[in-house]
Amino acid sequence: DAKTTQPTSMDCAEGRAANLPCNHSTISGNEYVYWYRQIHSQGPQYIIHGLKNNETNEMASLIITEDRKSSTLILPHATLRDTAVYYCIVRVGNTGNQFYFGTGTSLTVIP
């Protein structure tokens, strides 16, 4: 039931911005986009979420297109510790309690 598609893998140079894209072309008007990351065999870690406006927190920025069919997670200054699998998730369901993970992007930050 995944509603998102992401590139399988990406590389990013340390200190540069990492831009991770996600397509969610079937998203409904009241469904939020969430981003999580998972560092090898640990529990997924929440990064950021948004509905239609761009969002920023201490970890990342989330840019959502005006038609809401895609979004980009931006890590402004990637470090080696940002190497992880990044998942884009659309939260669905009448009560918003269904989080279905997409296939994720494996980000490798290169020294």
The interface mask with other proteins, positions 3-42, x = CB under 8 A, is ---------------------------xxx-x-x----xx
Provide the β-strand partners of residue 61.
56, 74
Question: What CA–CA distance (Å, rounded) separates 75 from 105?
Answer: 14
Residue type, 17: A
Is 55 one of the binding residues for other proteins (CB under 8 A)? no
Sole window of 21-29, 57-65, 67-75, 93-101 interacting with other proteins (rule: CB under 8 A) = 93-101
Report whether 105 contacts 9 (CB < 8 A): yes
Shortest distance in whole angstroms from residue 15 CB to other proteins: 28
Report whether 100 contacts 92 (CB < 8 A): yes
Decide whether 72 or 103 has the Cβ nearer to other proteins: 103
* Residue entry with tokens 């992880």: 84
Q: Which residues bind other proteins (CB under 8 A)?
A: 1-2, 30-32, 34, 36, 41-46, 49, 87, 91, 93, 95-104
